[in-house]
Amino acid sequence: MQKKTACALVVLLAAICSLSFTVYGSDYSTSKESGSTSTSTSSTSTGATLYATYCSGCHGSLATSSVKGATVTQIQSAIANVSAMHTLSKLTSTQIQAIAAALGSTTTSTSGSGSTSGSGSTSTSTGATLYNTYCSSCHGPLATSSKLGAPATQIQTGISTVSAMSSLKTLTTTQIQAIAAALSTSTTSGGTTSSGGTTSTWTPPPAQMPPSNPGVITPAQNNSKYVVFAWNDLGMHCANPSYDTAVILPPYNTVWAQVVQRGNPPKVVTSGVTVSYRVVNNTKSSNKGMFYQFWQYCQKLFGVTLPTDTGLNLVDPTIHNGLAGTMVLKGDHYQVNGVPLTPIDDSGVWNPFQVIEVTVKDASNNILAQTRTTIPVSDEINCAKCHNGNANPMLDVLQKHDQLSGTNLVGQMPVLCASCHGSPILGQTGRGSSGMYLSEAIHTFHATVGAACYDCHPGAKTQCSRSLAHTATDGNCTNASCHGSMGTMAASITNNTKTPWVTEPKCVNCHSGVAQVDTGTTLYRNATGHGGIYCAGCHSSPHAMVPSRVDIDNYQSLQYQNYAKSIGSCGACHSSSKGEGLSDFIEAHGSGGRPNACYVCHTAITTTDTTNWPHQFQWKATQGSGIVSGH
């Protein structure tokens, strides 16, 4: 007798989006006589306790669990790939097997016809109606659909990429999830459809985290005339994964670059060249996940209609950039604003640390310099950790906002949070009509409900703070006073000692006694130092200062000096970032002497007057490569 083990597993993925997992061939055994599941009583009892402790908060009680019948393999896959479940990575294989056994023992028995009974009958019923209305004319009746088992992401991709389905872009996230649930629940057992075809199975691809594939390091050629430094302005950009409900941030990425003509002294170049960019292995955003909704609802949300795959621009509103193009000169540097990047590349791989290539050419189109750097973006905003009262967490957010504040946001979807709560990162000034900054509202409300920084500032997998010298073992900043607790952050905004995105921690708070570290009222991301080079040009982006745990952050240091230290550090060659000291420097590295990290920009070093050196040679001595020995 054929095992009756088909069931549907619906799991909240990537903070806001929901994906449907159709599971076949469960690991628990079935009785040939009755078709009921049989498991070890001890294992089931232990599994029930583990389920109640770790799983019931999202999936309901064991008896009515939304993930009945989930196999060990599927639970392990979800822990590895679902951001809201990463905390369960501490579970042992035995514990996961016990949970699967408990879920198996509570699975509703299937009938002799092989049909499965699933949870969420209301959602399934609604999904069936939607399927019949929008899908059945092409894919056949629901019971024998050619798309049985299709998850929400597959449906979303079809809507984005198949011209015949483009009219379905009016469907909401919740409606697409309901259709996926109906397709999952309608799947027959035994791995075949009633018409004899093979049912489809789907497992989400694993998130590919660092290394982020920056490509082969290509050190600058000796005696090259130009170098280029490039960096992202913030070190991480957040983006909503969908735009039909509540919207916090658009897909918006900014990269700066400085071109330097090597010499004695070097010179920052601002004319006679063009600076172009391209995101490596990423040419479109509108066909990734639910991001097509950004262009669908852009007019309502942001008051502008954009050509598909171009972005907003808060600096030059008439210029709308794509994933490749030309950077614009901004005084002493080149800049591209509003690149509408998603964390999904053209291979379908989710990676928040994507790669941008920057190329400098002369008037004859000859390449003068080229480099790569991180262009980071993550949609790992985990509202689903707490807002799990609805299949769409953002809808749950709006419903609770309406209940608590007497608003009618659900009736106005999609809603831009910054339309009432001022958000300086979107170019707004003041607290907005609500009288409370968006950052102030979010931090104030969530400070007392058990939320963590990485629930919103991405994220459990992203962990955007990645500079080795500035990141503690728990992934947070090594200095808790940089941003403080969530309550401290909220209070500082409320009492006007901090303006979100405008008032930020200062390097000098930790790095005192070093020249040029105190940038005054200028933020690190906007400040220049030695030779007019931006701080981030030598040290890299905020939250990603070299050396970083993410390889692409280290690309330029490796390209220009073959070691992941700040550009110009003696530690590129020596065991100490201050080398062998000042007395031996000119003898070893003076004009015509042994090349050093200063030669990234300089063609000769002729002075020991350290007032002309980066940070006046006052930085703390830290460990270097040790490639050369003392002399």
DSSP string, 395-449: HHHHHHHHHHH----GGG-SEEGGGTS--GGGT--S-TTTTS-HHHHHHHHHTTT
Q: What is the mean pLDDT of residues 466-472?
A: 88
Q: What pLDDT shows up at residue 189? A: 34
Numbered ranges of CATH 2.60.40 in the chain: 226-376
Count of helices and strands (H, E) across the chain: 17, 15
Distances (CA, A) of 62 to 51, 66, 127, 330, 390: 7, 9, 24, 59, 18
Q: What pLDDT shows up at residue 57? A: 67
Distances (CA, A) of 282 to 209, 275, 286, 343, 348: 16, 19, 11, 9, 10
Q: What is the mean pLDDT of residues 603-623?
A: 86
Distances (CA, A) of 246 to 112, 239, 403, 416, 426: 45, 12, 15, 6, 16
Q: What is the mean pLDDT of residues 410-426?
A: 96
Query: What is the distance between the alpha carbons of residues 286 and 303, in angstroms, rounded to a whole number?
Result: 19
What percentage of residues in the chain have a pLDDT greater than 70? 81
Q: List, in sequence order, every residue forming a beta bridge with 260; answer none if it has no partner.
A: 227, 268
Strands 415-416 and 246-247: parallel
Q: How confident is the model at residue 93 (pLDDT cuts 50, 70, 90)?
A: confident
If one compares 163 and 271, the residue with the highest pLDDT of the two is 271
Q: What is the mean pLDDT of residues 540-563?
A: 92
Q: What pLDDT shows up at residue 18? A: 31
Whether residue 280 is predicted with pLDDT greater than 70 in this model: the reply is: yes
Query: Could you tell me the two tokens for 403?
Result: 């209940």
* Encoded amino acid at 232, one letter: N
Q: What pLDDT shows up at residue 406? A: 94
pLDDT in tens, 480-537: 778 888 889 999 999 999 999 998 889 998 899 999 999 999 999 999 999 999 999 9
Whether residue 570 is predicted with pLDDT greater than 70 in this model: the reply is: yes
Task: State which of 142-146, 161-165, 241-245 shows the largest mean pLDDT.
Answer: 241-245
Residue with tokens 């967490």: 393
**Angle, CA 430 vertex, CA 429 and CA 436 arms, to 5°:** 135
Query: What is the distance between the alpha carbons of residues 335 and 329, in angstroms, rounded to a whole number?
Result: 6
Whether residue 123 is predicted with pLDDT greater than 60 in this model: the reply is: no
Q: What is the mean pLDDT of the chain?
A: 80
Q: How confident is the model at residue 223 (pLDDT cuts 50, 70, 90)?
A: confident
Q: How confident is the model at residue 592 (pLDDT cuts 50, 70, 90)?
A: low
Q: Assess if CATH 2.40.360 describes domain 226-376.
A: no
List the single range of 53-67, 189-203, 262-276, 563-577 with lowest mean pLDDT.
Answer: 189-203
Task: State which of 148-162, 409-423, 587-601 shows the largest mean pLDDT.
Answer: 409-423
Whether residue 477 is predicted with pLDDT greater than 80 in this model: the reply is: no
Q: How confident is the model at residue 231 (pLDDT cuts 50, 70, 90)?
A: very high
Return the closest-CA partner of residue 376 out of 296, 282, 494, 502: 282
Are 116 and 185 in contact by the 8 Å Cβ rule? The answer is: yes
* Encoded amino acid at 44, one letter: T
Whether residue 163 is predicted with pLDDT greater than 90 in this model: the reply is: no
Query: What is the distance between the alpha carbons of residues 340 and 354, in angstroms, rounded to a whole number?
Result: 13
List the single range of 3-7, 398-402, 610-614 with lowest mean pLDDT.
Answer: 3-7
Q: What pLDDT shows up at residue 627? A: 79
Backbone angles phi, psi at 2, to 5 degrees: -70, 135
Q: What pLDDT shows up at residue 185? A: 67
* Encoded amino acid at 26, one letter: S
Whether residue 322 is predicted with pLDDT greater than 50 in this model: the reply is: yes
Whether residue 12 is predicted with pLDDT greater than 50 in this model: the reply is: no
Q: How confident is the model at residue 8 (pLDDT cuts 50, 70, 90)?
A: very low
Q: How confident is the model at residue 254 (pLDDT cuts 50, 70, 90)?
A: very high
Are 339 and 321 in contact by the 8 Å Cβ rule? The answer is: yes
* Encoded amino acid at 173, one letter: T
Whether residue 243 is predicted with pLDDT greater than 90 in this model: the reply is: yes
> What burial class does residue 433 get, using C-beta atoms within 10 Å of its C-beta: 0-12 exposed, 13-18 middle, 19+ buried?
exposed
Query: What is the distance between the alpha carbons of residues 369 and 221, in angstroms, rounded to a whole number?
Result: 10
Report field, pTM of the whole predicted structure over 0.75: no
Produce one character per residue of 175-211: b if its CB has 16 or more CB atoms within 10 Å, e if not: bbbbbbbbbbbbbbbeeebeeeeebbebebeebeebe
Q: What is the mean pLDDT of residues 177-188?
A: 73
Q: What pLDDT shows up at residue 107? A: 43
Q: What is the mean pLDDT of residues 234-258?
A: 95
532: number of Cβ within 10 Å: 14
Distances (CA, A) of 630 to 245, 589, 610: 62, 13, 21
Are 47 and 99 in contact by the 8 Å Cβ rule? The answer is: yes
3-state secondary structure of 229: strand
Q: What pLDDT shows up at residue 54? A: 82
